[in-house]
């Protein structure tokens, strides 16, 4: 069975601080995808990143960076120099490989609510 | 370029009724995925359509169905509504299917309330 744990329910940081959102997953699949999404107060989900289990390279996109460690089944997300606009709920998700026409297991974490205080 | 649009934005139905939600993807996008978000169950994947074919689906009962038209617009139908179907229904579009590296773009969602 799949499981995604985002142990941090809520985090508050002061603007310009760095913050790391943790994501730990469980799966029996050897090939899978990991995702991060952002949901600001407006409610509209924003896709941030998709990572294939084959690729353990860390990724940086502006102030965002992701640390994928297969050995610890973690896919953590760091925001550097946080800004008020980063305030949102962040979801980590795990998906097995797409099987055309079949069932797909997609599991979302419960989300981490980040509040950036000016 | 217009974003993903979902209609209606809000909907109130009663138990036993059926409902159809619509999603218009970004022009040129061929994949539409549907998700359900509830306070109790969180975010869950419903299904994905690509080029008018259901490519894959999540673990939902057969009351939940969908289709995609030749212009890539997608509809999602829920029959025999139950109270637990009250949720925010989100759709996302991408150029290719989700199994590729395409970025997904989400619509604002349809908030369905079942009384």
pLDDT at residue B101 greater than cutoff 60: no
pLDDT at A58: 84
Contact B42 A108 (CB under 8 A): yes
* Tokens read off for A4: 């995604």
Residue A98 per-residue DSSP state: -
Closest CA to B78 of B32, B42, B109, B114: B114
* pLDDT bracket for residue B99 (50, 70, 90): low
User: How far is residue B11 from each of residues A111, B18, B28, measured CA to CA in Å?
Assistant: 26, 11, 28
Report d(CA A92, CA A47) in Å as an integer. Answer: 10
B88: nearest CA partner in chain A:
A43
pLDDT at residue B107 greater than cutoff 70: yes
pLDDT at residue A93 greater than cutoff 60: yes
* pLDDT bracket for residue B1 (50, 70, 90): low
Contact B45 A99 (CB under 8 A): no
pLDDT at B98: 61
Digit-coded pLDDT (tens) for B14-31? 999 999 999 999 999 999
Digit-coded pLDDT (tens) for A29-67? 888 999 999 999 988 999 999 888 888 888 888 999 999
Chain position carrying tokens 């809520």: A10
Residue B107 per-residue DSSP state: -
Contact B56 A95 (CB under 8 A): no
Chain position carrying tokens 């690729």: A55
Task: Give alpha helix (H) positions in chain B.
Answer: none
**Which chain A residues have a beta carbon less than 8 Å from that of B45?**
95, 104, 106
- Beta bridge pairs of residue A36: A49, A92
């Amino acid at each position: 069975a799949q499981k995604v744990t985002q142990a941090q329910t809520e985090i508050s940081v002061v603007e310009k601080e760095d913050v790391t959102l943790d994501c730990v997953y469980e799966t029996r699949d050897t090939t899978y995808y990991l995702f991060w999404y952002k949901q600001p107060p407006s409610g509209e989900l924003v896709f941030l990143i998709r990572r294939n289990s084959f690729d353990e390279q860390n990724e940086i996109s502006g102030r965002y960076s992701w640390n994928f460690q297969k050995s610890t089944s973690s896919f953590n997300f760091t925001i550097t120099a946080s800004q008020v606009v980063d305030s949102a709920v962040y979801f980590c998700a795990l998906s097995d490989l797409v099987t055309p026409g079949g069932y797909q297991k997609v599991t979302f974490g419960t989300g981490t609510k980040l509040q950036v205080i000016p | 370029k217009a974003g993903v649009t979902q209609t209606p934005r809000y909907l109130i139905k009663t138990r036993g009724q059926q409902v159809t939600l619509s999603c218009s993807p970004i022009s040129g996008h061929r994949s539409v995925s549907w998700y359900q978000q509830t306070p109790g169950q969180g975010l869950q994947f419903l299904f994905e359509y690509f080029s008018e074919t259901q490519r894959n689906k999540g673990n939902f009962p057969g009351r939940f169905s969908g289709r995609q038209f030749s212009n890539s617009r997608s509809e999602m139908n829920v029959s025999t509504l139950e109270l637990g179907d009250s949720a925010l229904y989100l759709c996302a579009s991408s150029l290719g299917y989700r199994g590729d590296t395409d970025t997904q773009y989400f619509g604002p969602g349809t908030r369905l309330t079942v009384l």
